A and B are shown apart, each in its own frame.
Chain A
Amino acid sequence: MFFKLNTSIGQPFYVQLMQQIRHAAESGALQDGDQLPGIRTLAEELVVSPNTVARAYSELEHEGLLELRQGSGAFLTIKRRARGLTERVQAASRKVEDLIEELHQEGLQDNEIWRLFETALFHRAEIGAE
Chain B
Amino acid sequence: MTLLQTHISADPAAPLARRNPVAKIGAALLPLLALLVSVDPVTSTLLLAAALASVPAWGLRWRGLVRRLWPLGLAVAMVALGNAVFTDRKGGETLLDLGPLLVTTESLAAGAVAGLRVAAIALPGVLAVLTIDPVDLADALVQQLRVPPRFAYGSLAAFRLAPLTAAEWEVLGRSRRARGLGGDRNPFAAASVLAGRLFALLVGAVRRGTQLAAAMDARGFDSTAQRTSARRQAFARADAALVAGSVALTAAAVTLAVVTGAWNPVLG
State yes or no: do A and B come from one complex. no
